[in-house]
Amino acid sequence: MTLVYNPFTFETQHNPYPVYTRLRDDAPVYHNLDLGFYALSRYADVLAAHKDPVTFVNSEGVTLEGGEKGQNFLILKDPPEHEWHRKIVSRVFTPRRVNGLEPFMREFCGRLLDPFVREPGFDAVEQFSIQLPLAVIGELLGIPESMRQEVHHLADRLFTRDETGTVSEDAAAAQMQLGILLFGLVAERRNNLGDDVISLLITSEITDDAGNTWRMSDEEISYRVLEMAFAGHETVARLVANGIVALTWYPDQRRELVADRSLLPNAVEEMLRWDAPSHYQGRWTTADVTLHGETIPADSRVILVTGAANHDDRVYTEPGLFDIHRSMDTIVSFGYGVHFCLGASLARLETRVAFDELLNRFPEFGIDESGVERMRSSNVRGLAKLPVVLPTGP
């Protein structure tokens, strides 16, 4: 049967794993002529491409549709410029600042989950997995509480794609609105500095190789804030929901976690591997690349299929099985190398806390499969609705 891989079709999004197996085994350098892209799907090839940001660049866009090209996001910068911009953000994104948020995360989980203790169920996405990271990134960046739901709804619209992958007028309008909202916030914060990441970005200086010292403009800061605001909550939200599905399908492992929380960090790694929230990273080649006897010409769109690499049986035994005891050297769910996710430690902490607090209150839960809905996006993979069913009565 002809092998067709189109990440935009809802059928592929529903269950991409069979086509990923065929890509890895039969077409490790897959070429989709209609959509004009190549796909690398084996773990070793994806990792090697991440390690070569000179041949595989980000500046032409990191999605298949490439609608973000030309915008001022950190993720779209190539070395050496990328290095300076990344330094300035990572300087304010310290482990101390991230870890200091744990008490807030726990208290906020309580606020979200306690009202459901005697309820028959809740929507684990809209009422939990979105709200936690949205509040956390809001606290960190300094986005007022009153603005956060709007940020979330605009980010949802911005990420939505139909089966053609076209960036709709609505998605473009949502990004514009989000940009205006956050630009206004940055401009206002300039006159009213606080202890948040926006204020720190406003006051941070950086010196480049040539000895020039500069500060970011409001426009640049707004792009950083925009990027962290949506990257910071959409992905964690999907990871937590995908993890809830895993623990419903594998109840023995859920019981093990209930009994022994020291298993949680590795369980979070397995959730990241088993159904990664970001299923591919887009690149553009600056030179010919020959792999497995095939040549990808310079100036080609290539996608590194993270979701396929994470299920490569050349690296992982029985990759389709969810196993919280799996020992793993690396996973590519946060990328690798120069663009490695800036929020990885924050995301890991949030997910660990989310499950710790969830299992404290609800050691048993199920899912109402009839109410599950998937979000429709280019490369963010996860659920839009996940009705969790709680046991009733004694």
Q: Which of 347, 358, 375, 383 binds ligand HEM (CB under 6 A)?
A: 347
Q: Between 12 and 235, whose beta carbon lies closer to ligand HEM?
A: 235
278 binds ligand HEM (CB under 6 A): yes
Distance CA 273, CA 333 (A): 6
- Judge whether 354 and 240 are in contact, CB under 8 Å: yes
Position of minimal CB gap to ligand HEM? 343
| CA distance readout (Å), 88 to 85, 93, 197, 364 | 5, 9, 11, 44
Binds ligand HEM by CB under 6 A, chosen from 7, 277, 307, 382: 277
Q: Which is nearer to ligand HEM, 16 or 335 (CB)?
A: 335
For ligand HEM, the binding residue among 86, 152, 161, 254 (CB under 6 A) is 86
Nearer Cβ to ligand HEM (229/296): 229
- Return the residue matching tokens 């040549």: 295
CB of 210 to ligand HEM, least distance (A): 21
Question: Does residue 339 interact with ligand HEM by CB under 6 A?
Answer: yes
With binding defined as CB under 6 A, does residue 131 bind ligand HEM? no
* CA–CA dist 290, 220 (Å, integer): 37
**If binding is defined by CB under 6 A, does position 28 make contact with ligand HEM?**
no
> Cβ closer to ligand HEM: 255 or 326?
326
Nearer to ligand HEM, 121 or 335 (CB): 335
User: CA–CA distance from 275 to each of 53, 67, 383 (Å)?
Assistant: 25, 25, 11
Q: In this structure, how many other beta carbons lie within 10 angstroms of the beta carbon of residue 393?
A: 3
Applying CB under 6 A, does 241 fall inside the site for ligand HEM? no
Residue 22 or residue 352: which is nearer to ligand HEM going by CB? 352
Three-class DSSP category at 79? coil
In whole angstroms, the minimum distance from the beta carbon of 266 to ligand HEM comes to: 15
* Residue number with CB closer to ligand HEM (19 or 197): 197
Nearer to ligand HEM, 25 or 126 (CB): 126
Compute the least distance from the CB of residue 107 to ligand HEM, in Å. Answer: 19
Site for ligand HEM in 55-84 (CB under 6 A): 58, 62, 74-75
Q: Is the dihedral of CA 89, 94, 97, 99 positive or negative?
A: positive
Q: 15 is written with which tokens?
A: 């269950």
Give Dmax over CA atoms of the chain in angstroms: 70
Q: Kindly state whether residue 382 participates in binding ligand HEM, applying the rule CB under 6 A.
A: no
Alpha helices in the chain (DSSP H): 10-14, 17-26, 43-50, 81-92, 95-99, 102-113, 131-141, 145-159, 169-190, 197-203, 218-249, 251-259, 264-274, 306-309, 344-361
Residue type, 162: D
Considering only residues 317 through 336, tell me which ones interact with ligand HEM, judged by CB under 6 A: 333-335
CB 285 within 8 A of CB 339: no
CB of 151 vs ligand HEM, minimal distance in Å: 13
Residue 350 tokens read as 């949030």
Of the candidate spans 232-240, 287-295, 318-326, 369-377, the one that interacts with ligand HEM by CB under 6 A turns out to be 232-240
- Quote the CA–CA distance of 162 and 378 in Å, as a whole number: 9
Phi and psi at residue 282, in whole multiples of 5°? -85, 145
**Which residue in 232, 307, 319, 382 binds ligand HEM (CB under 6 A)?**
232
- CA-CA distances (angstroms) from residue 108 to 136, 347, 353? 9, 15, 10
Total site size for ligand HEM, rule CB under 6 A: 24
CB nearer to ligand HEM: pick between 161 and 339: 339
Residue 228 lies near ligand HEM (rule: CB under 6 A): yes
- CA pair distance 300, 222, nearest whole angstrom: 30
The secondary element (H helix, E strand) that includes residue 40 is strand 37-40
State the minimum distance, in angstroms, from the CB of residue 85 to ligand HEM: 8
Q: How far apart are CA 236 and CA 130, in angstroms?
A: 8
One residue of 64, 247, 342, 353 binding ligand HEM per CB under 6 A: 342
Binding-site ranges for ligand HEM (CB under 6 A):
58, 62, 74-75, 86, 227-228, 231-232, 235-236, 239, 277-278, 281, 333-335, 339, 341-343, 346-347
